[in-house]
A = this chain, B = another copy of it.
Amino acid sequence: MNPSIHPDAEWRLHPRLTADSVPILNRDGIQYRLIDDHRFPWLLVVPMLAGAEQLHDLPSAWRDQSMRALQAASRTLEALYVPHRINIGAIGNLVPQLHLHCVARFHDDAAWPGVVWGAGTRTPMAPLTRLARVQAIGAGLVERLATNSTS
């Protein structure tokens, strides 16, 4: 990660993302969040840059940082959950604020082989399950972000 990237003081999380997910970690200008859905291990990678909406419009340093963050998120989910596939998405049709989805997918999950976006109804986790998941993913992210995640 590039440690010279800092959160933008004017950045605020979109209320819909606040409602659907919980924070895991802020690091080097990126907020990592867990979607509160028991059905899927599902992370959001959110660049803390006010006004950012689309990946191709990001300043290059922020774009590179977001890609490194996405890689750390993918590797963390892979190590913890051993999924069949990682699904990545940058969609934003409902929430224009830039946020990248990173989802661990399994052959027997609730949406396979379809995508998670628009699939059924979000099922919140029990509080202890959510806490355990946040702690495990947070520890995994910290470990991966401490190494050079660009290689």
* Chain A interface residues (CB < 8 Å from chain B): 54-56, 60, 63, 67, 70-71, 74-75, 78, 85-94, 96, 105, 112-115, 117-118, 150-151
Bound together, the chains give a CA A62 to CA B67 distance in angstroms of: 13
Contact: A105 with B90, CB < 8 Å?
A: no
Classify the interface of chain A: helix, strand, loop or mixed: mixed
24 contacts between A and B (CB under 8 A): A54-B86, A55-B70, A56-B71, A56-B75, A56-B78, A56-B86, A60-B150, A60-B151, A63-B67, A67-B67, A85-B96, A87-B91, A87-B92, A88-B89, A89-B89, A89-B90, A89-B115, A91-B115, A93-B112, A114-B117, A114-B118, A115-B115, A115-B117, A115-B118
Contact: A93 with B117, CB < 8 Å?
A: no
Contact: B150 with A85, CB < 8 Å?
A: no
Min CB–CB distance A94 → chain B (angstroms): 5
